[in-house]
Structure 1
Amino acid sequence: MSDELTLSPWTGPWPDDDPDATFKAEVADYNRLDPLHTLRGLSAHTGIPVGGLARYVLARFATTGSGGLLELGPAMVERLREPVRRAEEAGTDEARLAAYRELAGMLSWLAFPLDHPDSYP
């Protein structure tokens, strides 16, 4: 396996019924930018090679989900996933709205310390 990486712009196309269409649209939008412009400037400022910065950015992005799982814990992730699973199984707008309300309540509870930092010593 080679460590070589070519940064090639990609803007599609993809079929309308592609299950990954939302992600692909986001990839296409970000591909309009040149990330090396920012990385070169940061490299010049910090002395870190562009390749080291690119590896950092990719590793940080790629592990964000894992980091979130570690911070929340598997039980909480399953608890957050369950209303969505039930709503998708039911397949109705009412079930999806109920899931939204349930998730909003859980997220409000999780965010309480962020919204009220003085509540905790």
Structure 2
Amino acid sequence: MNADPETPDIWTVDDGSEVICLRRWKGTWDPDDRHANFKSDVVAYGLLDPLETVRGMSRNLDIPVGAIVRYVLARWATGGSGGLLEIGPVMVPRLWEPIAAAEEKDDDEARLQAYHQLRQMISWLKLPLDDPTVYPPQRD
């Protein structure tokens, strides 16, 4: 196995497959670190053993553990772009507009108005999820 000096938790085996060490981390960070919430989550979730669940899924679904872990990592890593595809490149800027306008005003009342505007926009988007009868039945 060859370890990558830039990423010591990843090794490449003879067949070219990569092996990853699932490491617990108990790091520290400054209170004003903009990634503090994520780092806190890494520490908290690091207390759990995800392989307990993955091994059960592997047994029940007859899928190798490595394939499930690869799927979970790929699904998580692409979640942002997947969300963009689901919402769409037109709707994201429309949802962002009230936020940008409120931040430009730098006023709590404007932020509250932006919240109400976003709430209305999202309630309109989720209406067919809450009540599928809003659209007439489609013909085959």
Tell me, yes or no, whether TM beats 0.5. yes
Gaps of 5+ in 1: none
How well do the aligned residues superpose, as a CA RMSD in angstroms?
Answer: 1.6
Distance 1:113 1:21 in 2: 37
Q: Give TM-score, length-normalised by structure 1.
A: 0.89
Distance 1:24 1:85 in 2: 27
Q: Using the aligned pairs only, state the percent identity.
A: 55
Q: Give TM-score, length-normalised by structure 2.
A: 0.78
Spell out, residue by residue over 1:29-72, the C-alpha distance to the aligned partner (whole angstroms, 9 max, x if none).
22221111100111112221111000101111122221221122
Q: Residue 56 of structure 2 is aligned with which of 32, 41, 48?
A: 41
**Partner amino acid for 1:90?**
K
The equivalent residue for 2:116 is 101
The equivalent residue for 2:35 is 20
Which has the higher mean CA deviation after the structures are superposed, 36-45 or 21-30? 21-30
1:75 Cα shift?
0.8
Gaps of 5+ in 2: 5-11, 13-17
**Partner amino acid for 1:41?**
G
Q: Point out which structure has higher relative CO (alpha carbons under 8 A, 6+ apart).
A: 1
Structure having the larger proportion of residues in strand? 2
Decide which structure has the larger Cα Rg and report it: 2
